[in-house]
């Protein structure tokens, strides 16, 4: 019998990329029936009102192609929300585009402005889609690392913006800088003074900014989220990325948006129309209706802070060292103080052991670097029901 014909060989566009750590750890958690605090998704339902709004849109026959840039009501709702929160008025017709989630918005923005050989600065640890997106565009990644402050025992205590390294990395020909606030995976939050300093750093350059702000409604302890939209000089050169999935507990819907000045949005849309063309119609209509009631996202900081505080209180009964969590729904911990042999393992191996033997899945921070940087820090997601967090804490407190 003749063997089946094989496809011709071809070079990989992403030769260094394999399966993401999130997929690997979620699969491992499912295989071992572990509690999944690794991948960042809620295990509780969204508001039934939102489901009803989408269902109503379907029954009203909003089931065909919407405008390429997005449903008008949703774009206008987003523009009004940004203006109310940050004082900047984007034109909903020329400056806001609905995307198939935040990740598609990131890829499309990069493809729209980065040409082969262009330098793009990222700050590690970084969300894992940044680097592959830059490489697909033919750009050159320039990575700088957050500065880890350490306590008297040499353990990581917090993360700071690496201003000196940033100033050296950015020059007149730098095409794009990617920032992320609140920051995944560390939970660090940029302050207004940080945006001022960034604007000064970029003042005499043509560098564009991609600001990933999908966790913008998860800032705690009475603090505010400071968006690039709130800073006129930065807004004039920035792609603002956001996501409804994180805000409304519907990560599987994959609906987000990108706000940018009209000339930048025009270039973004050139790529967008051939990337996904447009986004799920009834979801857009349902989100537009739901967005008109601001109470959900205004109450979100208190909702997630309660989960954060509950989870942190339980972790305080362990020998994990807790890092600050001013934003996001992730809690980072240093595990190297645990008095068990496994505390000597690498972050990736420790997370696998924690999943298979303890029954709680986490993500190694080293996975957010191109070259694994071992600091003994792992990330838990606390966007879970209290029962889920309690069960996980019961297992972790036995270590």
Mean pLDDT across the stretch 227-244?
Answer: 98
Backbone angles phi, psi at 51, to 5 degrees: -60, -45
- Is residue 158 predicted with pLDDT exceeding 90? no
Look at residue 2 in the predicted model and tell me its pLDDT: 66
pLDDT tens readout for residues 164-191: 999 999 998 899 999 999 999 999 999 9
For residues 77 and 284, the answer to whether their CB atoms sit within 8 Å is no
Residue ranges per structural domain of the chain? 21-46+300-396, 48-295
Q: What is the pLDDT of residue 261?
A: 98
CATH topology assigned to domain 48-295: 3.40.640
Write down the pLDDT at residue 1.
Answer: 57
Q: What are phi and psi of 364, to 5 degrees?
A: -75, 135
Tokens matching residue 262 = 């009209």
Model confidence at 57, pLDDT cuts 50, 70, 90, reads very high
Is the predicted pLDDT of residue 154 greater than 80, yes or no? Answer: no
Does the pLDDT value for residue 109 go beyond 80? yes
Distance of CA 205 to the CA centre of its chain: 26
Question: At residue 96, does pLDDT exceed 90?
Answer: yes
The domain defined by 21-46+300-396 folds into: 3.90.1150
Q: Looking at residue 284, what is its pLDDT?
A: 98
Q: How far apart are CA 284 and CA 282, in angstroms?
A: 5
Contact present, 216 and 242 (Cβ < 8 Å): yes
Residue-level pLDDT at 110: 98
For 284-315, letters b (16+ CB in 10 Å) and e give bbbbbbbbeeeebbeebbeebbebbeebeebb
Question: What CA–CA distances, in Å, run from 278 to 64, 136, 269, 290?
Answer: 11, 21, 10, 20
Residue recorded with tokens 């109450």: 299
The Cα–Cα gap between 218 and 303 comes to 9
Q: Dump pLDDT digits (tens) for 6-53.
A: 889 888 999 888 888 888 999 999 999 999 999 889 999 999 999 999
Q: Residue 395 CB: number of other CB atoms within 10 A?
A: 15
Mean pLDDT of 69-84: 98
Average pLDDT of the residues in 71-90: 98
Arithmetic mean of pLDDT over the chain: 95
What is the b/e burial string over 65-97, where b = at least 16 CB atoms within 10 angstroms of the residue's CB? ebeebbbebbbebbbbebeebbebebebebbbb
Per residue in 305-354, pLDDT tens? 999 999 999 999 999 999 999 999 999 999 998 999 999 999 999 999 99
User: What percent of the chain shows pLDDT beyond 90?
Assistant: 89
For range 353-359, the mean pLDDT: 97
pLDDT, mean of residues 215-242: 98
Confidence of residue 157 (pLDDT cuts 50, 70, 90): confident
């Amino acid at each position: 019998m003749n063997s089946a014909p094989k496809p011709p060989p071809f070079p990989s566009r992403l030769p260094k990329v394999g399966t993401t750590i999130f997929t690997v750890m979620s699969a491992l958690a499912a295989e071992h029936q572990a509690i999944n605090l690794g991948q960042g998704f809620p295990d509780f339902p969204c508001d039934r009102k939102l489901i009803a709004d989408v269902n109503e849109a379907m029954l009203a026959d909003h089931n065909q192609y919407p405008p390429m840039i997005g449903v008008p009501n949703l774009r206008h709702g987003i523009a009004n929300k940004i203006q109310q929160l940050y004082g900047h008025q984007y034109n909903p017709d020329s400056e806001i585009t609905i995307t198939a989630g935040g990740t598609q918005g990131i890829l499309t923005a990069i493809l729209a402005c980065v040409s082969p050989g262009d330098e793009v600065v990222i700050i590690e640890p970084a969300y894992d889609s940044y680097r592959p997106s830059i490489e697909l565009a033919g750009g050159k990644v320039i990575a700088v690392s957050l500065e880890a402050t350490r306590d008297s025992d040499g353990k990581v205590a917090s993360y700071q913006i690496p201003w000196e390294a940033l100033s050296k990395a950015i020059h007149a020909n730098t095409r794009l800088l990617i920032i992320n606030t609140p920051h995944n995976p560390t939970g660090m939050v940029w302050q207004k003074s940080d945006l001022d300093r960034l604007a000064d750093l970029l003042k005499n350059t043509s560098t564009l900014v991609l600001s990933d702000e999908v966790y913008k409604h998860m800032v705690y302890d009475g603090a505010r989220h400071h968006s690039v939209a709130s800073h006129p000089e930065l807004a004039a050169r920035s792609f603002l990325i956001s996501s409804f999935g994180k805000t409304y507990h519907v990560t599987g819907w994959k609906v987000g948006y990108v706000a940018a000045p009209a000339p930048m949005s025009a270039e973004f849309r050139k790529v967008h129309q051939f990337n996904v063309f447009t986004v799920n119609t009834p979801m857009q209509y349902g989100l537009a209706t739901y967005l008109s009631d601001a109470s959900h996202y205004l109450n979100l900081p208190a909702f997630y802070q309660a989960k954060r505080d509950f989870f942190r209180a339980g972790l305080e009964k362990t020998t994990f060292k807790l890092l600050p969590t001013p934003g996001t729904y992730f809690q980072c911990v240093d595990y190297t103080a645990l008095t068990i042999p496994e505390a000597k393992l690498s972050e990736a191996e420790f997370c696998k052991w924690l999943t298979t033997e303890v029954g709680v899945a986490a993500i190694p921070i080293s996975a957010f670097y191109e070259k694994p940087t071992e600091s003994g820090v792992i990330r838990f997601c606390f966007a879970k029901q209290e029962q889920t967090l309690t069960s996980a804490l019961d297992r972790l407190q036995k270590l």
